[in-house]
Structure 1
Amino acid sequence: MKSSAPFLAVILAATASAQLRLPFSRQHGAGAADRSARRRTPPAIELYRAEFTYVVNASVGTPPQNLSLALTLSDDESWVLDANEWSYQDYGAFWPGNSSTFVRPGWDSFSLQYMDGQLAYGDRIRETLWVGGAAVPNLTMGLAHETNARLGVLALGFNRSSSGVPNFPDRMLAEGLVNSTAYSLWLDDSSAESGNVLFGAVDKAAFEPPLVRFPVGRATFPDGVYSSPQTFNVNLASVNFSRRAGGAMQPLVRNQTAVEEVIVAIDPNFAVTHLPHFLAQPIWDLAGATYDEDLSLATIPCSAASNSTARLALQLYGTDGPVIDVPVSDLVLDGDGVVTSTWNWDTEAATTWCTFGVQNTSHIRTSLLEERSAWSLGAHMLKRTYAVFDLANREMALARAKFGADRDDVVPFPSYGAEIPESTEACNEKYNYCPDDSNGSGSTGRYRSGTPYDGGLSGGRLVGVVVGCIFGGSAVALGIIWGILACARRRRQSADTAVDDEKAQAVTEAEQPPALPPRPPAPADPEKAAAAKVVAETEPPPAIPPQPPAPADPEKAAGAQVNEEQVAPST
């Protein structure tokens, strides 16, 4: 028993510190166009990702080999470059032969292809990954022999493995580094040069309440409900704008129904926000951006980054959902995308054009489904947003980021599947997803019938249905019992009527005159007897007085009346 106290202390300490902070920084690639160039080959879509990649420092193997990995929220499988096959090692690569913990279960078993055109092929391996000073052993990851990327990936998305192979968040949970598979992500300031990932906790000092949570992976397309439980996708609820700071907000477009049918992925790893054209065009008009046919991009004068006063307000999920407040100046990608210049002979001055942070998708997709899949809110749109991604509950929470905090105020998830700490649950009747508690705090009760997003009933409604079924079933049972009793009562009434009829018959028979006295015995002479018999048979019997009519049977009378009505001729 003496050893239980130290053991309990270790457990409590592990629970209290079940969090891991991992700083990241922005990778500035070398792919930006020369500022003096006016016309170049239209850039590939992967430019938006490569030019705005958040990178973390990590180590792989035993002893640890240092390298850099790109954060991604949309993928579930981490991978590293094979130093034996890849000569480009500016961000580091892994030498398998130099690690004592390297395991290669199979050859040519790893293959990934991303929507932006990046790909990686190689082997699946098991190794120890070190991040933030913590070791994650036996992590299954890819070892890329062939790829068009310049660095590997640390994947933080939903586990899509059909065989149940644990990914990085799962392994962190198994090793006791976190209590639940969830993490927070935010930037240090509006420059978006650096930020933090906090695994298994939220930092109250990094956001301004409320922190509004809502389900992800369930949304509605115009042709029905779209459910993808392994993505951070959500419906837009509204898009409003103001032309000046502090001005009144007004709807960006009149067709509010069309806005609500737009589903966007929340992915700060992409620099650019992609929206359908009916939303992108009015945002371009508001900001002063124009579409460059040669570049297939919307561009904007780079000066808008310092002189634009317009603002956007995007509300997600529903009328109770979080609102993302975005200065249009944040959407000018100065140095992050294609930068060109034009000469104006009238003013004898050059205008520098930057890639605008909102692009449409109609020109880069070949089908409606692919175009819908490209709708997303990128890093520049989310620059001032604090986000929590909860894999265990398939939820996320958003709040306005608070820059410049001089201290931490970390609140860990208390257990696996616990609600996001310090969050308030948004209500949306469209999906039957509303808080169970009356005060709306989100701190007690939540919908857990099956998965939270399978279109089931909320807790309150489920109770109502159960109570309704109980009362409804009771009413049906009472109705059946009443019917049985009614039938029995009718049968008793019929039996009583029959008895009364029999009694009436008996009374009637009792009131009849007495029977005639018996005839004298026939004489002994046969001939006389025969003659007497003939006379007796030919004599008419005495008349019997008429009997009073029997009491009428109501049911028979009713039947007779119905029969008469049925056979009555039609006039």
Structure 2
Amino acid sequence: MKLGAGAIAALAVLASGAGAQNVVEFNLHRGIPGLHLGTLPQLGRRDTYTQLLINNITGGGYYCEVSVGTPPQPVTMILDTGSSDAWVPSPKADLCTSKALQEKYQDSCGNTYDNTKSSTYKLVERNGFSIQYLDNGTAKGDYITEDFGIAGVTIKSLQMGHVFQTVRGIGILGIGYTANVATRKIYPNIMDQLTSQKIVGVKAYSLYLNDRRSSSGTILFGGIDTNKFVGPLHIVPIMKSFGLNVHTAFEIAFTGLGVTYTNGSSAEINTNLFKATSLPAILDSGSTLSYVPEQLAKPIFRELGAVTDDALTGLTFIDCKHLNDDPRMVIRFSFDGKEIKVPVNEMVLDILGAYQHLLPSSIPYERACMFGIQSTKNFATSQTVEESNFALLGDTFLRSAYVVYSLEHHQIGIAQANLNSTSAAIVELKVGDKALPVVMGVPEPSPTDGGVTTVTVTPKNTAPGSVRFSGGWEALTVLAITSIFTVVGGVVVSL
């Protein structure tokens, strides 16, 4: 979707005192600026139909407009916590110049970056950038350095990919661990450069996506907005990736799952699984849906009457009547004693539109919606990890949570999101702190409120800006468990 002048995001650069590092905040907006979904493909292949269905989950995408080069060239990029490289397409990229490829991949290019028009372009490694994605497509090109403008600040000489071969026409802004970059030769990525160039003080950011009905949220580098969550911020360690002695992905221990109904009754889901194993959950804005092992998915599906199409798509659907569920009917996700409640109606995605008639007859609803939780069974690959060993919690979960990602401390701060909060109370993360601070959000609502209390606190020293954000894309790499699923230009590619 295109944003009018009234929807342009605000930027706040805040300092809490003399000598303090800046905290940089931008608003996030959902949608795909200027892209189209393409024509209806033939249904001869399961993956094509799956891609067609999930191609409509554009409301789960979080995009940003940045600038690259000198003078600045505007480029749209996908914000992704699940990958670590930044890359932009060249106007000479195969997808940008080939009508046949645009038809094949049902996509076209957004704004591109032309290195011949920039005085600050430097080549680092020709043909050195290459990422393979779940559909076996690749993004390939050169590693370069360029000046990178975002939210009114400029990062000098940021290393990124300049892509000439791609299956999608929008670049990616990966904000994950440096250890997960797509090359064996580790280099400082955007998270490193934000701190080394003293744009922010601490290598950490807070993500607030807001609910599915909202067009805006925020990402805050170097700080925590205590008006965007409820109660205390719960701190948990980030787990080291399986078989490695380094952190490559935002994995935390997933310790419980349940459903609570409006009458107060509840059902716990497969508690034996949680007792028997430590289940890592990856918190990834680069996935529009959320995925859990089959042992957890099936009981949730039974509780809510969701049905999986095993014959054609491998996807799970739910009756659209759940869009009107009481928000007190929730799915509960637990992390080492902290519970995040996701209203069931937040997990119901009304995105099928005119394609209802294409659904197989095994889907029993008058109007079907996509369910925001899927089983890993139909999507895990033998080259990565066993499907039972992890969960991937994407935007359908994250919209109900406030998450602080600290690469500095290898910690995640998590709390219930204070939905539709319209102002801020920002705590700066300080250089030298040994851990994330334990801070309080807005007061817990009373049981009779039926919702979340909103407290209005106006931030000081705000300045206007011109950034808008919206979703992500997860790259397939050998080191990252996050490689199981991919969001490409608002599309989850699941074969």
- Taking structure 2 as the reference length, the TM-score comes to 0.73
Whole-Å separation in 1 of the counterparts to 2:368 and 2:39 = 11
User: Of residues 191, 196, 208 in structure 2, which corresponds to 1:169?
Assistant: 191
| CA gap 1:350/1:170 in 2 versus in 1, 3 angstroms | closer
| CA gap 1:64/1:228 in 2 versus in 1, 3 angstroms | same
User: Of residues 70, 73, 80 in structure 2, which corresponds to 1:72?
Assistant: 80
Whole-Å separation in 1 of the counterparts to 2:353 and 2:216 = 18
Q: Is 1:157 aligned to residue 148 of structure 2?
A: no
SS at 2:172's partner residue? Answer: strand
Opposite residue 343 of structure 2, the aligned amino acid is P
Whole-Å separation in 2 of the counterparts to 1:258 and 1:170 = 37
User: Of residues 350, 363, 366 in structure 2, which corresponds to 1:351?
Assistant: 366
The answer for the alignment partner of 2:249 in structure 1 is 231
More helix by share: 1
| CA gap 1:355/1:344 in 2 versus in 1, 3 angstroms | closer
Count of equivalent residues: 402
The answer for the alignment partner of 1:287 in structure 2 is 304
| CA gap 1:354/1:380 in 2 versus in 1, 3 angstroms | same
Whole-Å separation in 2 of the counterparts to 1:19 and 1:84 = 37
| Higher alpha-carbon Rg | 1
The answer for the alignment partner of 2:319 in structure 1 is 301
The answer on whether the counterparts of 2:332 and 2:339 sit within 8 Å (CA) in structure 1 is yes
The answer for the alignment partner of 1:20 in structure 2 is 24
- Greater shift, 84-93 or 195-204, is seen at 84-93
The answer for the alignment partner of 1:241 in structure 2 is 259
Residue 79 of structure 1, CA deviation: 0.5
Q: Is 1:109 aligned to residue 113 of structure 2?
A: no
Structure possessing the higher relative contact order (Cα contacts under 8 Å, 6 or more residues apart): 2
SS at 2:227's partner residue? Answer: helix
Residue 191 of structure 1, CA deviation: 1.8
Aligned pairs for 1:525-536 (under 5 A) are none
Q: Is 1:132 aligned to residue 140 of structure 2?
A: no
Whole-Å separation in 1 of the counterparts to 2:236 and 2:178 = 20
Opposite residue 371 of structure 2, the aligned amino acid is F
Opposite residue 266 of structure 1, the aligned amino acid is L
Residue 341 of structure 1, CA deviation: 3.9
The answer on whether the counterparts of 1:340 and 1:354 sit within 8 Å (CA) in structure 2 is no
Opposite residue 266 of structure 2, the aligned amino acid is M
| CA gap 1:400/1:84 in 2 versus in 1, 3 angstroms | same
Aligned pairs for 1:311-322 (under 5 A) are 311-316=330-335, 318=336, 320=337, 322=338
Opposite residue 229 of structure 1, the aligned amino acid is H
The answer for the alignment partner of 2:415 in structure 1 is 399
Q: Is 1:267 aligned to residue 289 of structure 2?
A: no
Percent of aligned positions with the same letter in both sequences? Answer: 25
* CA displacement 1:104-150 (0-9 Å, x = unmatched): 12211111123465521000000011000000011000000000012
The answer for the alignment partner of 2:205 in structure 1 is 183
User: Of residues 81, 84, 91 in structure 2, which corresponds to 1:83?
Assistant: 91
Opposite residue 275 of structure 1, the aligned amino acid is V
**Any stretches of 5+ residues in structure 2 without a counterpart?**
1-14, 98-106, 441-495
**Any stretches of 5+ residues in structure 1 without a counterpart?**
1-10, 425-571
Opposite residue 285 of structure 2, the aligned amino acid is P
- Taking structure 1 as the reference length, the TM-score comes to 0.64
Whole-Å separation in 2 of the counterparts to 1:124 and 1:352 = 47
Whole-Å separation in 2 of the counterparts to 1:362 and 1:388 = 29
Whole-Å separation in 1 of the counterparts to 2:251 and 2:74 = 34
Opposite residue 351 of structure 1, the aligned amino acid is E
SS at 2:378's partner residue? Answer: coil
Whole-Å separation in 2 of the counterparts to 1:281 and 1:357 = 14
The answer on whether the counterparts of 1:179 and 1:416 sit within 8 Å (CA) in structure 2 is no
The answer on whether the counterparts of 2:144 and 2:162 sit within 8 Å (CA) in structure 1 is yes
The answer on whether the counterparts of 2:293 and 2:390 sit within 8 Å (CA) in structure 1 is no
* CA displacement 1:510-530 (0-9 Å, x = unmatched): xxxxxxxxxxxxxxxxxxxxx
The answer on whether the counterparts of 2:126 and 2:142 sit within 8 Å (CA) in structure 1 is yes
SS at 1:208's partner residue? Answer: strand
Residue 80 of structure 1, CA deviation: 0.4
The answer for the alignment partner of 1:369 in structure 2 is 385
Whole-Å separation in 2 of the counterparts to 1:111 and 1:418 = 36
| CA gap 1:113/1:27 in 2 versus in 1, 3 angstroms | farther
Opposite residue 207 of structure 1, the aligned amino acid is F
